[in-house]
Structure 1
Amino acid sequence: MVLVDVSAQQPFHTTSQTYNNISLGSALTAQDDDTSWLSPSGEFAFGFQKIGNDGGFILAIWFNKIPERSIVWSANGNNLVQKGSTVELTADGQFMLNDIANGTQMFIAEQAAATGVAYAAMLDSGNFVLANRNSTNLWESFNHPTDTILPT
């Protein structure tokens, strides 16, 4: 008698998300050209958005394919930073906002670095993540919601 494991013959379906990995040591600078890290589809962007005419910038995630570029998440809330400020994923996995106006640093995901951040990614779901070498999310913007609910 031969026993066959029929569960191994069943189709196995998975869903996956394409990542555009952001390497350790990468940085963005608040400037007028809207430099950002895009999700694979380009639907969402992570970077600095200029707020108002006074020149302040907010570190945010926004809908990138609509003209209004509606912000769906922000790291620094009402504490705008000036042109030239940076956000950096350091070589040792720290994720920090450097405000040049007052010389301060804000750790966005301080605890994640201690657990082995290998890269960051802006996902097509609108979630910005810091992940380890095994692609396990160590920190994600979805765990720190602001005032916008996304479709997914």
Structure 2
Amino acid sequence: MAPFQHSKLCFFSLSLLLLLLLLPFTVTSQSNRNVSLGSSLTTGSNSPWLSPSGEFAFGFQRITTDGYLLAIVFDKIPERTVVWSANRNNLAPGGSRVELTTQGRLVFTDPSGNQIWAANTNGPVASHAAMLDTGNFVLAASDGSSLWESFEDPTDTLLPSQIMERESRLIASHSRSNHSEGRFKFIMQLDGNLVMYQRDEHPGTPSEYAYWSNQSTIPSGYRLVFNQSGFLFVASINGTVLDYVFSNGGSSQDFYHRVTLDYDGVLRYYEHPKRNASIIDE
């Protein structure tokens, strides 16, 4: 089974695009629909927090009859694909709530008020939050700087403009319908190597093993970059491209892009057409 696959939901002519390294990020770099302190969402009772274009939504997704996932999804394609989730190993019951508290904390609680999950801002408190058009949900300080980002705490998916620094990882879902952590993980290691592992599911058995690795980026590999042109590559500390993981992508004006470590252990590149988004060729 190949560790990498490029899945296209419609066929198109490819053209090489200018490679753009990610520019320094600030929350104020785009027009936002800021989430103010004291705002909250409850399962099944109110609208999600949308990005300015409405392309991404932060809120609750019903997974089972009474089980919810706090997630970010593509909100303009028929299958509202989850690209990030909090506390993914345990679904929340109906009546659960997420709040940007008046103290500047993003807190997810069950119906009894018990904390399920909270964003770690390492001390500072936020003045507001924002769901960005990149698919990144951000807690921001009063000067617009980022205190916490969903991009820095990925689950199984990368989106354009997202970076995996050394020691960052993706963990595959258990199955198509079960978003809890599964058998496979994908890591940008400290030694600069990009590696896929099968996780050890049985305590006491031999340690996890690598079923794919990219030896060519040792020791210079510093980060994995998914740039806004749809190219996924390993870069050195000065931004030099060392190796491509996926080197061809369609225009970001015409397609939504994502790279996902799927439940079967294969890293796949997906493209969803923006035009006529209600009709997707399987």
TM-score range, shorter chain: 0.7 to 0.9
> Could you tell me which of 106, 111, 114 is aligned with 1:104?
114
Partner Cα separation in structure 2 for residue 117 and residue 16 of structure 1:
17
Q: 1:146 aligns with which of 155, 158, 164?
A: 155
For 2:34 and 2:88, the matched residues in 1 are separated by 25
Q: Provide the rounded CA distance (Å) in 1 between the counterparts of 2:113 and 2:103.
A: 21
- Residue identity over aligned pairs, in percent, reads 56
The answer to whether residue 47 in structure 2 is matched with residue 35 in structure 1 is yes
2:158 counterpart SS class: coil
Please state how far the C-alpha of 1:35 moved relative to its aligned partner.
2.0
Counterpart Cα distance in 2 of 1:22 and 1:145? 21
Q: What's the RMSD between the two structures over aligned residues?
A: 1.8
Find the counterpart in structure 2 of residue 49 from structure 1: 61
Q: 1:63-82 alignment to 2 at 5 Å?
A: 63-82=74-93
Matched, 1:131 2:140: yes
Listed as ranges, the gaps of 5+ residues in structure 1 are 1-14
| SS of alignment partner, residue 111 of structure 1 | coil
Equivalent residue pairs, number: 134
2:102 — aligned with what? 91
Instruction: Please report how far the alpha carbon of residue 83 of structure 1 lies from its aligned counterpart in structure 2 after TM superposition.
Output: 1.3
- Structure 2: how far apart are the matches of 1:105 and 1:148? 25
CA distance in 1, matches of 2:96, 2:148: 22
Of the three residues 69, 86, 96, the one matched with 1:58 is 69
Higher relative contact order (CA closer than 8 Å, sequence separation 6+): 1
| Alpha-carbon contact 1:34-1:48 (below 8 Å) kept | no
Query: Which segments of structure 1 move beyond 2 Å, counting only runs of 4 or more?
Result: none
Confirm or deny: 8 A CA contact 1:35 1:48 kept in the other structure.
no
1:22 is aligned to 35
Q: CA deviation at 1:116?
A: 3.1
CA distance, structure 2, for counterparts of residue 34 and residue 45 of structure 1: 12
Hey, which of these two has a bigger chunk of strand by percent?
A: 2
- Quote the Cα distance in structure 2 between the aligned partners of 1:29 and 1:110: 21
Instruction: Please state which structure has a larger fraction of its residues in helix.
Output: 1
CA deviations on 1:118-151 (whole Å, 9 max, x unpaired) are 0000000000000011000000000000101213
CA distance in 1, matches of 2:156, 2:120: 22
Q: Unmatched 5+ residue regions in structure 2?
A: 1-27, 162-282
